[in-house]
Chains A and B, each alone.
Chain A
Amino acid sequence: MNAPLGKTLTLWLLIGIALIVLSAPTIVVLGASFTSGNIITFPPDGLSLKWYAKLAGARALWEAFLRSVYVATVCTIISIPAGTVAGVALAKYGVRFEKTIQTYLLLPFTIPLIGSGIGLMLVFGNAGVLGSLWPVGLACCVINLPFMIWAVTASASALDPDLELAAANCGAPPLQTFFHVTLPAVMPGVISGSLLMFILALNEFLVSLLLVDARIVTLPVHIYNSIRSIITPDLAAISVVFIICAAGAVALLDRLVGLDVFLKSK
C-alpha cells in the first residue's frame, strides 16, 4: 500500500504491457473485421459491417464452422465419460500403477502435436475411416484428454472421502454411490473440463489439418487454406465469430460453476 511511487509505476507499466500484448491479436482482428476496404488492414480502412453481411452468404465458411462444431461435440461427448471415470479413479481409489497411469495419460502433452497427428493419421488410415469427420473429434479427445482428467481430479480430490462412506452407510451400493453422490460432487470439474474440451476441439488446427481432406475441412483449416490464396476481411469477421463462440463458452462456464473453480482446477 505504501510502496514507493517508482515501484507502483513499474508494476502498472508491466501490467499495461502484458494486457496490450495479450489482447493485441484480438483487437487487431476485431478492428480489421470492420473495415470497409477490400484487404485486411489495421487500423481499419473506414468502418462498415459489410464483411459480416458477406459472411452470412458465404456457404463454405458456414459449413466449415458447423463441421468444427460437430468435431467439438463428438470430442466432448467421448471425453465426458472417459475423463470423468479416469479422473475420479485416479483421485480417489488406490489404483495400482497410479503413477504410471498418470504419466501415460499425460503423454499426449509431451509428444509434439505433429507427431501424434501423423500417428493418428496412420491409425485412422489403416482403419479405413479417414475421410469421415468423427475421427477428427476422437483425435481431439485423445490429445486433449489430460485437461479433462485434471479438471475432474481437482474436484474429486477436494471431495470429503467420508461422503462415499456415508452413502454406503445409508445403504447405497457402490454404483448408486457413484451416481448419487460422487458424480454430483465432481460435477463442477466435469462441466469445466468438458467446456474446455469443447473450446479446444473447436479451435484445433494442426491435427485437423492432417486428418481432413478437401471435402470436410474444419473452420481453422478452411481459414488457413484461404489465407494462402487471398486474404480478405471476411476471414477476420469469421475469426471474430469464432472468438465470440469461445467467449460464450467461458461465460457459460462462469455462470454454471464459477470461473474461480475452473482456475483452481489446474
Chain B
Amino acid sequence: MHDATTDAGAREAQGSQPVAVSVLDVSMVYDGVHAVRDASFDLPRGRFLTILGPSGSGKTTLLRLIAGFQKPTKGDILINGTSVNAVPPHKRSIGMVFQRLALFPHMTAAENVAFPLKMRRTDARKIPERVDRYLDLVKLGGFGQRRIHELSGGQQQRVAIARALVFEPDLLLLDEPLAALDRKLREEMQLEFRRIQRELGVTTINVTHDQREALVVSDEIIVMDHGVIQQKAEPSRTYRSPRNAFVASFIGVTNFIAGDARSLAGDTVVVGVGESEWTGVIGDKACPLNVGAPVRGAIRAEQIRIARDGRALEGAGSRHAGIVSDAIFEGERVVYEVRLPDLGDTLMRVFDHGPHDTIAVGDEVYLGWNPDDVLVFDDEAGHP
C-alpha cells in the first residue's frame, strides 16, 4: 500500500532524474478525426509509465508516434532533450514489444535477438555473448536455437522482450503485448516486465486497457479517453483521487449516483435526487461546481457496507434502504447489486467478503458509506 509519504518520495525521486521523454502538445489527426489531441507529459528516466484507456482512446497512436512509425500532425516529441520529429524509426534508440510480437518467423530465437545488434553494427565477436546474456535475463537460456513456432506463447513473449532490450535502448515501448495471453500467464508476465524493468532501470512506456496491469506494474499511469489525456498520476493517486468521472469509472468497480447540486459548503456538496438528498465531496478541486448543475457522485464498491439490519451501519454517515436485485458469487467475495428506491432507483454494486449465505436476491437490505468517499464530478466533465 502506498501512502502520502511514499507518493511524495516518488515525486522527489522523479525530480532528481533527467527527463527521458517529453511529449509537447502532440496531436494526430486522421481524416479530420483527432486520434490524439493536445497530449503533453514528461517522463523522467528510469520510470515505468502505463498509458491506460479503452480501445480507440488514442493510446496506441501515441505510442506509435513516440516509436516514429507516424509523424504527429502537430507538436513535438523529445527524447533525452532532443526533438525526434525528423528522426526515422530505425535511427531512434527505442526497443519495442509489439502486440502480436512481430518476431521474425524465419529466424531462430537467438537470430531474432541478434538482429538489432547486427543492424546497429555491433562488433560481431561480441554478439553471441550479448545474445546469451539477454536470453538468460528473460529466462530462455538454452532455447536460442529454437525456431519461433517451436516456442510457447510465453516463451515467444520473452524472445520479444530480449529483442527489444538487447541493444540497450534509451526507451522501451510495450504495445499491449500481454493482451492475447490467458490470465495466469498474463499476470506472471506483468511481474516479469516489472522485474526486468527494475533490473535494467530502462525507461518504459506500456500501453494497455487492463486496469489491473496498470496498477500492478507502473510508477505512473496516464488515463486516456477520446484522444485526450484525462489524468497522469501515480497508481494509488489515480485510484484514490480520480480527476473525473471517466477515470473513476475506468479504474475499479465504481458506482455512480446522479443528481443536482443543491448546496456547497467548503468541499462538501449536498446533492438532491427528487425528494431525497445525498452528500459527497468535490472530486476535482480545480474544477468548481455550480449550485443547480447536474452532477455525478462516484463511490467504489469496496467503500460501501451492506447489512440486513440498519442498526449495524450506525456511524456510516450515509445510510439507505434497498432491494437486492442480483448476487454474483466470485469465489473470494460476493458482489451484490442493490437497487436504492430513495436515490432514484440507482443500482449499486457492493462487495461482501464475509459469510456469504445470509443475503438473497429480493431481500431488503441497508447500504452505508462515508460521505467523504463519494467524489462529486460535474456531469459534463470527462464526457467529450
Q: Which residues of A contact B (CB under 8 A)?
A: 160, 162-163, 165-174, 176-177, 180-181, 184-185, 187
Contact = CB atoms under 8 A, between A and B. Distances in A.
Contact of B167 (A162, A171, A173, A177): A171
5 contacts: A162-B100, A166-B96, A170-B167, A171-B90, A184-B104
A174 B88 CA distance: 10
Contacts of A181: 104
A169 B95 contact: yes
Contact of B102 (A163, A171, A174, A180): A163
Contacts of B120: 171
Given A168-B89, A170-B119, A176-B119, A162 B99 contact: yes
Nearest to B91: A171
A133 to B, nearest CB: 36
Given A168-B88, A176-B119, A185 B167 contact: no
B116 A165 contact: no
A176 B98 CA distance: 20
A168 B115 CA distance: 11
Interface-central residue, B95, B96, B119, B163, by most chain A CB under 10 Å: B119
A170 B102 CA distance: 11
Contacts of B91: 171
Contacts of B98: 162, 165-166
Contacts of B100: 160, 162
Given A162-B99, A176-B119, A180-B115, A169 B67 contact: yes
A162 B173 CA distance: 14
B70 to A, nearest CB: 10
A170 B116 contact: yes
A172 B102 contact: no
Contacts of B95: 169
Interface string B59-98: 0000000011100000000000000000011110011101
Interface string B197-212: 0000000000000000
B119 A165 contact: no
Interface string B97-121: 0111011111000000001100110
Interface of B: 67-69, 88-91, 94-96, 98-100, 102-106, 115-116, 119-120, 163-164, 167
Contacts of A171: 90-91, 116, 119-120, 167
B203 to A, nearest CB: 16
Contacts of A165: 67, 69, 89, 98, 102
B167 A166 contact: no
Nearest to B119: A171
A29 B91 CA distance: 62
B119 A185 contact: no
A176 to B, nearest CB: 6
A171 B120 CA distance: 6
Interface-central residue, A163, A169, A173, A174, by most chain B CB under 10 Å: A169
A222 to B, nearest CB: 42
A168 B89 CA distance: 6
Contacts of A170: 90, 115-116, 119, 163, 167
Contacts of B89: 165, 168-169
Given A171-B119, A173-B90, A166 B105 contact: no
Nearest to B67: A169
Contacts of B67: 165, 169
A163 B120 CA distance: 18
A172 B121 CA distance: 10
Contact of A166 (B68, B102, B106): B102
Contacts of A168: 68-69, 88-90
A184 B106 CA distance: 7
Given A169-B95, A171-B120, A163 B90 contact: no
Interface-central residue, A167, A170, A174, by most chain B CB under 10 Å: A170
Q: Which 10 A-B pairs have the closest CB atoms?
A: A166-B102, A170-B116, A171-B119, A162-B102, A168-B89, A184-B106, A172-B119, A171-B120, A168-B90, A169-B96
Contacts of A173: 88, 90
A162 B163 CA distance: 14
A170 to B, nearest CB: 4
B130 to A, nearest CB: 14
A248 B95 CA distance: 46
A180 B115 CA distance: 9
Contacts of B94: 169
B102 to A, nearest CB: 4
A177 B90 CA distance: 10
Contacts of B96: 166, 169
Contacts of A185: 104-106
A160 B105 CA distance: 11
Interface-central residue, B94, B102, B103, B105, by most chain A CB under 10 Å: B102
Nearest to B116: A170
Given A165-B67, A167-B104, A170-B163, 10 more contacts: A162-B98, A163-B102, A163-B104, A166-B102, A166-B103, A167-B115, A170-B119, A173-B88, A180-B119, A184-B106
B138 to A, nearest CB: 16
